[in-house]
Amino acid sequence: MVNHVKRRRWLLAVSLGWLACAPAQDELTAYFLAHGAQDPAVAAEDAYKYLYHAARGGEHALADETAAGLWLAREWATLGPPQPGEELWEPLTADGRIGRLHLRPYKAQGGNKEALLEAFLAGARDFDGHAGSFRQAWRALGRVLQAQPVGQLTFAEWQRVDRAMKSKGYPAAHHSVGYTEARAPAYRVLPAAQARRLLEQLPEPVTISAP
Q: Residue 147 and residue 50: Cα distance in Å, rounded? A: 21
Q: Average pLDDT, whole number, for the chain?
A: 88
According to the model, what pLDDT value does residue 210 have? 65
Query: Above pLDDT 70, what percent of the chain?
Result: 87
Least confident of 127-136, 141-150, 184-193: 127-136
Buried b (16+ CB within 10 A) or exposed e, 67-76: ebbeebeeeb
According to the model, what pLDDT value does residue 211 have? 66
* Span 85-107, average pLDDT: 96
According to the model, what pLDDT value does residue 20 have? 43
According to the model, what pLDDT value does residue 65 have? 85
Q: 82 falls in which pLDDT band (50, 70, 90)?
A: very high
Nearest to 101 by CA among 201, 26, 29: 201
According to the model, what pLDDT value does residue 156 have? 98
Query: Above pLDDT 90, what percent of the chain?
Result: 76
Least confident of 32-36, 50-54, 60-64: 60-64
Q: What is the pTM of this model?
A: 0.87
* Span 49-67, average pLDDT: 87
Q: 131 falls in which pLDDT band (50, 70, 90)?
A: confident
Per-residue pLDDT tens over the stretch 197-206: 999 999 999 9
Given a contact cutoff of 8 angstroms between Cβ atoms, the answer to whether 92 and 50 are in contact is yes
Q: Looking at the chain, list the stretches that DSSP marks H as alpha helix, in order from N- to C-terminal side.
A: 2-21, 27-34, 44-56, 65-77, 103-108, 113-126, 131-147, 155-166, 177-183, 192-200
Q: 60 falls in which pLDDT band (50, 70, 90)?
A: confident
